[in-house]
Amino acid sequence: EAVVELRGVTKTYPGDVHALRGVDLTVARGDLLAIVGPSGSGKSTMLHLIGTLDRPTTGTVLVTGHDVATLSDRQLSGLRSRTLGFVFQQFHLSPGVSALDNVADGLLYTGTGRRARRERAAEALERVGLGHRLGHRPSELSGGEQQRVAVARAVAGDPPLLLADEPTGNLDSHAGADVLAVLADLNESGTTVAVITHDAEIAGWCRRQVRLRDGLVVDGHEHDHLSPVE
Ligand code: ADP
Ligand code: ADP
């Protein structure tokens, strides 16, 4: 069953910029997928379409079976918050509050009470190996730890799909490997993960790769085994 399907998707920006020129992609439940390509190949555009942050020029985007073209902005934001967790290169944490509150505040949209939000946030921080850092503010955490807080916030509501856009871009290779290991752990426990990256080494670490070049998918292939970055 597909979490996301793109069918014949194009995206043209003003100025006749053809960012995507006819892309088909199925993200199946359980995938650990890399979308990889050089700068300007259309990765961010694809992320925005998969993430329902933007709509295609032509073609169809289905998210858990819902055609985004048929949904109002309000329905779309509801679908997005139920279905998708986002992690970006920048950690986007609130500097003034603890790791626990950063994650718990991400659950405000669910209407869950404060106590239950904090319990779920603590569980999510434990899943990313930060059970011992609940009270720390971002400034008291390393870059890798801050990104793991961002991952915890993205998965605290148990979204079926986690979208990570250059998640190791601001990290040294050791901290980057920790974050990738956390994403693989989450995938093992059932979360579908799509990583957007320009880095072939990071992509090689995902089970499945989709290569973009000049707005087209040029190659996708499967690996039998994970080969973590050392
Ligand atoms: P990548 O993420 O792989 O670097 P992008 O999706 O950001 O690729 O960009 C693909 C192409 O679309 C590039 O030529 C880029 O300059 C162009 N582009 C991206 N966003 C916009 C925009 N908002 N307006 C005009 N052109 C854009
Ligand atoms: P970049 O990697 O280009 O430096 P980011 O990774 O922070 O920037 O953001 C990528 C894109 O996603 C931007 O267009 C930004 O507006 C958007 N974005 C960032 N944070 C969020 C968010 N929490 N929810 C939705 N969209 C976001």
- For residue 195, name the pLDDT band (cuts at 50, 70, 90): very high
Residue 228 clears pLDDT 70, i.e. is over it: no
Could you tell me if 32 and 51 are in contact, meaning their C-beta atoms sit under 8 angstroms apart?
no
The strand order across the sheet containing 216-222 reads: 84-87, 161-165, 192-197, 32-36, 208-213, 216-222
Instruction: Give me the residue label for tokens 């973009």.
Output: 212
CA of 55 to the centre of ligand 1 (A): 14
Closest CA to ligand 2's atom 5:
88
As a whole number, mean pLDDT of residues 23-40 equals 96
Percent helix, strand and coil across the chain, each to the nearest 5: 35, 30, 35
- The end-to-end CA distance of the chain, in Å, is 33
- Name the pairing type of β-strands 216-222 and 208-213: antiparallel
Residue range 48-91, pLDDT digits in tens: 999 999 999 999 999 999 999 999 999 999 999 999 999 999 99
DSSP string of 45-56, one letter each residue: HHHHHHTTSS--
Angle at 103 between CA 89 and CA 121, to 5 degrees: 135
108 is written with which tokens? 């405000």
d(CA 84, CA 76): 11
Share of the chain above pLDDT 70, in %: 95
The pLDDT value given to residue 223: 54
CA of 76 to the centre of ligand 1 (A): 23
CA of 85 to the centre of ligand 2 (A): 12
Closest CA to ligand 1's atom 26:
13
Residue 230 clears pLDDT 50, i.e. is over it: no
pTM of the model: 0.87
Q: Is 57 in the pocket of ligand 1 (CB under 6 A)?
A: no
By most ligand atoms within 8 Å of CB, the mutation choice from 11, 12, 13 for ligand 1 is: 13
Share of the chain above pLDDT 90, in %: 92
Index of the ligand 1 atom closest to the CA of residue 44: 2
By most ligand atoms within 8 Å of CB, the mutation choice from 44, 48, 54, 88 for ligand 2 is: 88
Q: Is 91 in the pocket of ligand 2 (CB under 6 A)?
A: no
d(CA 20, CA 89): 22
The pLDDT value given to residue 224: 47
Closest CA to ligand 2's atom 23:
86
Mean pLDDT computed over every residue of the chain: 94
Instruction: Give me the residue label for tokens 């290569």.
Output: 211
Q: Is 36 in the pocket of ligand 1 (CB under 6 A)?
A: no
- For residue 1, name the pLDDT band (cuts at 50, 70, 90): confident
d(CA 149, CA 128): 8
Q: Is 40 in the pocket of ligand 1 (CB under 6 A)?
A: yes
202 is written with which tokens? 């990071």
Index of the ligand 2 atom closest to the CA of residue 169: 2
Could you tell me if 138 and 93 are in contact, meaning their C-beta atoms sit under 8 angstroms apart?
yes
Residue 219 clears pLDDT 90, i.e. is over it: no
Give Cβ neighbours of residue 136 (< 8 Å, ≥ 6 apart): 98, 99, 145
Residue 149: phi and psi, rounded to 5, are -60, -45
ipTM attached to this prediction: 0.69
Task: Give, as one character, the DSSP assignment of residue 168.
Answer: T
d(CA 77, CA 63): 12
CA of 139 to the centre of ligand 2 (A): 21
Residue range 117-172, pLDDT digits in tens: 999 999 999 999 999 999 999 999 999 999 999 999 999 999 999 999 999 999 99
Could you tell me if 41 and 100 are in contact, meaning their C-beta atoms sit under 8 angstroms apart?
no
